[in-house]
Amino acid sequence: MINMSEIESLKSENQTLRNYISLVLAEIELIQRVSEIKQNFVNSSDSERIITPILERISKIKSEKLSLEEKIHLHNLDY
């Protein structure tokens, strides 16, 4: 039988996984957006101005993902 502390632990892990998935999806979307901007603004200084904050956000997402990976031990998986 599962006790309350195990249930709370599972809830916490579930929420962490949901947060991780959200970050992965956000990262994919932003990377696609950067690619689209680069295609639409070829050789334009505007593209760098637009892309820079997006790249900064992608960097923050990667850092947040790494933190969650360590928390839920995703970095130890061997494939």
Report pLDDT digits (tens) over 4-57. Answer: 898 998 999 999 999 999 999 999 999 999 999 999 988 788 888 899 999 999
Helix axes 4-40 and 45-71, enclosed angle (nearest 10): 160
Please choose, from the candidates 53, 64, 79, 75, the residue with its C-alpha nearest in 3D space to the C-alpha of residue 24: 64
User: CB-based contacts of 62: which residues, under 8 Å, 6+ apart?
Assistant: 27
Classify residue 1 by its DSSP letter: -
pTM: predicted TM-score of the whole model, two decimal places: 0.83
Surface-to-core class of residue 23, CB atoms within 10 Å of its CB (0-12 exposed, 13-18 middle, 19+ buried): buried
